[in-house]
Amino acid sequence: MRSIAELGDLRGKRALVRSDLNVPLDGQTITDDGRIRASAPTIKALSEAGARVIVCAHLGRPKGAPEDKYSLAPVAARLGELLEQEVTFATDTVGDSARAAVDTAQDGDVVVLENLRFNAGETAKTDEERAEFAGQLAALADVFVSDGFGVVHRKQASVYDVARLLPSAVGGLVETEVGVLKRLTEDPERPYAVVLGGAKVSDKLGVIDNLLQTADRLLIGGGMVFTFLAAQDYEVGKSLLEADQLDVVRGYIEQAKERGVEIVLPVDIVAATAFSADADFEVVPAGAIPADRMGLDIGPESGVLFAEKLKDCKTVFWNGPMGAFEMAPYADGTAAVAAALVEVTEKGALTVVGGGDSAAAVRQLGFEDSQFGHISTGGGASLEYLEGKQLPGLTVLDEPSA
């Protein structure tokens, strides 16, 4: 992948930056600005190099047309605060407002375009539709910098097609993310443990399959653990269960035994009568969840067990919370894993927190980004990289530059 340095002198040039600014909003209030903070250094560096920086990104899942609740206006305002400079916000992506903002930009200025997904061409399935929108974006700029790691696994106009139309390079954020993932996949320091949570086994089939070739331990929590428990004929009550994946999971358990990979499951579960913070809940053995209850977190003994299994590790990757952490009664398991990662980080281990819910969880629970080795900005992209998949937004940067 080409670096920004290979684009040459950027003073006076219009640099289109694809960032990942898809942050959670409560109305107009940003509830977690982690992705904006992670994107700011590359934007700042381009501005200081004298480029006229044009930032493009998406937020949420609008249906190819403008929706006020998905506007990037609050994001542009927060970016300006972090950069400590004025940021111009264009109220469209490739229309009159965008062209006017770019045309009047001076060296070092930063412009944020409105949500890319307000244009159907951004996520179009046909090459022709994407190429048309990509051409409109490319017409605004002289060079392209890919710095949205959370979208590099998507073959979308602003990620893939624009990179084929302009001299292109990878930004600092993506460069860092790929460097960390290479350390996880190319001869990681051992013991190497992977902690997987989240709702469904089916969301992580590929990554589990691949990790059985590389990891020493797999620690399983979250909603997906109940399919693992049921695969061993344990009672899971009303817990989330993917019955169609039971045979697949049994195959994973057998494969792990053959390869000497330790699969660690919870020994106790916080089980509630309903998916609610106000429901009656109790801690029960993992193998005996009452028929009228659902598991919503790993139990306290499991938190101790997981911490014990992590304390000698030199490399840890974590993707997915251990329970419904958004509700206080079911947050302790996730907090226990986070605290265990902090402890091994302090001992010099490489600890990587996958993006999405995992990153949101550690911040919501009061941990600082600096307490971990790396907090990824891209959950899906990280998992696909660990699966060994080719990511279009990265492979396109290996093609001859425009």
The annotation status of 184 as a binding-site residue, yes or no, is no
DSSP class per residue in 336-387: HHHHHHHHHHHTT-EEEE-STHHHHHHHHTT--GGGSSEE-S-HHHHHHHHH
Q: Report the alpha-carbon distance of residue 143 to residue 16 in Å, rounded.
A: 6
Considering the candidates 18, 35, 78, 217, report the single residue annotated as catalytic. Answer: 35
List the structure tokens of 245: 């994946």
The annotation status of 398 as a binding-site residue, yes or no, is no
Residue position matching structure tokens 């080795």: 373
Considering the candidates 356, 378, 379, 393, report the single residue annotated as catalytic. Answer: 356
The annotation status of 356 as a binding-site residue, yes or no, is yes
356 catalytic? Reply is: yes
The annotation status of 58 as a binding-site residue, yes or no, is yes
Considering the candidates 50, 95, 135, 380, report the single residue annotated as catalytic. Answer: 380
The annotation status of 20 as a binding-site residue, yes or no, is yes
The annotation status of 35 as a binding-site residue, yes or no, is yes
The annotation status of 108 as a binding-site residue, yes or no, is no
The annotation status of 332 as a binding-site residue, yes or no, is no
Cα 401 to its chain centre, rounded Å, is 27
The annotation status of 19 as a binding-site residue, yes or no, is no
Cα angle: 264, vertex 268, 271; to 5 degrees: 130
Quick one: CA torsion of 171, 131, 56, 123, rounded to 10 degrees? -110
Q: What are phi and psi of 393, to 5 degrees?
A: -70, -15
Taking every pair of Cα atoms in the chain, the longest distance, rounded to a whole number of angstroms, is 67
Considering the candidates 200, 311, 314, 389, report the single residue annotated as catalytic. Answer: 200
380 catalytic? Reply is: yes
Q: Is 77 left (phi over 0), alpha (psi -120 to 50) or beta?
A: alpha
For residue 163, the tally of other CB atoms under 10 A from its CB is 28
Strand ranges in 161-212 using DSSP code E only, listed in sequence order: 168-170, 192-196
Annotated binding residues for substrate? 20-22, 35, 58-61, 117, 154
Which positions make up the binding site for (2R)-3-phosphoglycerate? 35, 117, 154
Active-site positions? Answer: 35, 200, 356, 380
**What are the binding residues?**
20-22, 35, 58-61, 117, 154, 204, 295, 326, 355-358
Residues making up the annotated binding site for ATP are 204, 295, 326, 355-358
